[in-house]
A and B are shown apart, each in its own frame.
Chain A
Amino acid sequence: MAHRRPRSQSGAWSPDVACGHRYIQGK
């Protein structure tokens, strides 16, 4: 299980990037 990575609270599997957020606002 050495390759297993932690799951962040946001649900993203990338430890430092939250999923589903973009940096521009919709109209």
Chain B
Amino acid sequence: ILGGADALERRWPWQVSVHYGGFHVCGGSIIDEYWVLSAAHCFNRDKNMEAFDIYVGLVDLRFAGNHTQWFEVNKVIVHPTYEVYHPVGGDVALVQLKSRIVFSDSVLPVCIASPDVNLHNATCWSTGWGLVSPQGHVPNKLQEVQIPLISLPLCRLLYGHLSYIMPDMLCAGDIRDMRTVCEGDSGGPLVCEFNHTWLQVGIVSWGRGCVYPMYPAVYARVSYFSKWIRYHMEHTPPPSQPLPALARVLGVSVSVLAALLAVLPML
């Protein structure tokens, strides 16, 4: 994030760090005890799913705090329109964790913007551990920045012939100041407060680098995907839990006993 500030602990309790091979690569957000929302391009097909780790309750990338939890990925569901109608269109991924997140003051879910959300005059924030300068400086502490939303017509005007901005996208940026998201913020949330409740309205997706403020950051528009998100959260079975060794032994003993009882009357 360019032009942001260090975030205090517990300020963005839904923020997630997606690690690949032990390094932060993308952001994400907690939307449920088993589910994280992120960008599809963070989970490319050629990546080894077992090399991903998900961290929640994290502020400083160097240290796990008292509330930090670590998770393995069970399943990644990429939106079916990803890269279909636009090189970065449908840039949404639902990540199911292998075990349940324990919520606390520092670890909480964000709400998903519904299709009828009205973003007029909304005050919105982006957060992430992405680059903090065009020279490539990386932060240790989670960064936050308040970013104004930009209408689709203005965003299309600003990008001109470079790229078409699709209806499933949302633009935000400050075309005067250097306040924007950057590489490494991908997958992270753009959230706005409505009536004391924080709604996620965007997922950091793409842009023309982060050096040119004239080109706003482009996010996946969460309200466009909210029905798809809710459908998969409701209809995907929770991950199967491995049986502890003792339970397996007990299970075998019970089945042997049942077999004996069934055979005994025949003797």
Residues in chain A within 8 A of chain B (CB atoms): 3-5, 7, 10-14, 17, 19-24, 26
Residues in chain B within 8 A of chain A (CB atoms): 8, 10-13, 31-33, 35, 103, 105, 108-112, 114, 193, 196-199, 233-238
Would you mind naming 17 contact pairs between A and B with Cβ atoms under 8 Å apart?
A3-B236, A7-B234, A11-B111, A13-B31, A13-B109, A13-B234, A14-B109, A17-B103, A19-B108, A19-B109, A20-B110, A22-B13, A23-B10, A23-B13, A23-B105, A24-B8, A24-B11
By secondary structure, the A interface counts as: loop
**Do B112 and A14 touch across chains, with their CB atoms under 8 A apart?**
no
**Do A19 and B234 touch across chains, with their CB atoms under 8 A apart?**
no
**Do B110 and A14 touch across chains, with their CB atoms under 8 A apart?**
no
Q: A7-B234, A10-B111, A20-B111 are in contact. List 4 more A-B contacts (CB 8 A).
A: A14-B32, A14-B103, A19-B197, A22-B10
Contacts of A13 in B (CB 8 A): 31-33, 35, 109, 233-234
Contacts of B105 in A (CB 8 A): 23
A21 interface neighbour in B8, B197, B235, Cβ under 8 Å: B197
Give the complex CA separation of A23 and B112 in angstroms.
19
Contacts of B193 in A (CB 8 A): 26
Contacts of A22 in B (CB 8 A): 10-13, 108, 198
Contacts of A7 in B (CB 8 A): 234
A20 interface neighbour in B103, B114, B199, Cβ under 8 Å: B199
